[in-house]
Amino acid sequence: KIESRPQRNRPLRVVDDSNLGTAKYFEYLFYIDFEASMADPRAQNALAELQEFTNFLRVLGSYPMDISPPI
């Protein structure tokens, strides 16, 4: 699941390059929730890929999944 929220302290960033004009960027935080073990190389690779596209990445938690059969 992916959710996004605008950053309240910096909702809009304006960049002015004298040759190209003014560009406006909206600053957002993204929350990503997925099921995987942190020991799984695929999860590690996914987080490494995300790190290349952002200047801030934090893992908020990793929890064991209940695999007992339903009653």
Tell me, yes or no, whether 19 lies in a domain.
yes
CA distances from 1 to 6, 13, 33, 53 (A): 17, 27, 5, 18
pTM: 0.60
Q: Along the 71 residues of the chain, how does pLDDT read in single tens digits?
A: 989 888 777 656 666 666 666 666 667 888 889 888 888 999 999 999 999 988 888 988 888 878 888 88
Tell me, yes or no, whether 60 lies in a domain.
no
CB 35 within 8 A of CB 59: no
Tell me, yes or no, whether 29 lies in a domain.
yes
Tell me, yes or no, whether 67 lies in a domain.
no
Domain total for the chain? 1
If we measure between CA atoms, which residue out of 33, 30, 42 comes closest to residue 63?
33
Q: What is the 3-state secondary structure (H, E, C) of 24-57?
A: EEECEEEEECCCCCCCCHHHHHHHHHHHHCCCCC
Tell me, yes or no, whether 62 lies in a domain.
no
Residue 20: domain span: 2-52
